[in-house]
Amino acid sequence: MTEQTSPLVMFYKQGWENYQQALVKTTALLSLEQLALPIAPHHWSIRMHLAHMLDARVSWFYGWMGEEDRDLARWHEVRSSDEPAEYEAAELVAMFEKTWQVISSALDRWTSADLEQLFSPPAYLQEEEPPHTRQWIVWHVMEHEIHHGGELCLALGTYGVESFYTW
């Protein structure tokens, strides 16, 4: 008997995919000037904020769980260097779409048993982070996006840009 895909994963995927589409649609419309605006006076720019959201996807899915993809590996390598990158909207959109392909594919194939798999942190985090289950990691990445998506929507609204929230 073949184990079925987890209903929990299916729950995650539909809502997250709607969120992904709205985030990509909004990001694609941002000008270079809008990307340079700060989230708040004391905070990162919108560009840096979006890159941070991507960093979390890459760190957890590629760095922790080993979801192999050359674009994720390249992003991780570039973002780990000391040189700051100034991404344009199209580059951010492309990476959101690429990371979503990796996430969506993983959510499609994982079973309930897969969600219980425990992952040790990457070597550079071993003293800071305990091991986590795949289920914990998926939820953590989602809550990270929800949190930072709220900040992003507030900032965009402050600057008169329509919010991407999916309600």
At 2, the amino acid letter reads T
As given in the structure block, the two tokens for residue 143 are 């809550």
Whether 96 and 16 have beta carbons less than 8 Å apart is answered as no
148 is in an annotated binding site: yes
As given in the structure block, the two tokens for residue 164 are 């991407």
- Binning the chain into helix, strand and coil, the percentages to the nearest 5 are 65, 5, 30
C-alpha neighbours within 13 Å on the C-beta side of residue 83 = 6
43 is in an annotated binding site: no
140 is in an annotated binding site: no
| Residue list for the binding site | 52, 144, 148
| Residue list for the binding site for a divalent metal cation | 52, 144, 148
